[in-house]
Amino acid sequence: MADSDRSLQPVAIRPAATVLVVRDGEAGLEVLMQRRHPTMVFASGNHVFPGGRVDDADGEGEAAYVAAAVRECREEAGLTVDAADLVWMAHWITPRGEPRRFDTRFFLAVAPEGQDAFHDGEEAVATEWVRPEHGLAHWKAREWTMMPPTVVCLRQLSEHATGASAL
Task: Give average pLDDT by consecutive 10-residue segment, the chain, 167 residues.
Answer: 57 94 95 81 77 94 96 94 96 88 95 88 83 96 93 96 93
pLDDT of residue 96: 87
Rg (the chain; Cα; Å): 16
pLDDT of residue 32: 96
Q: Taking the model in full, what pTM does it have? A: 0.89
Amino acid at 33: M
CA torsion 150→21→132→167, rounded to 10°?
100
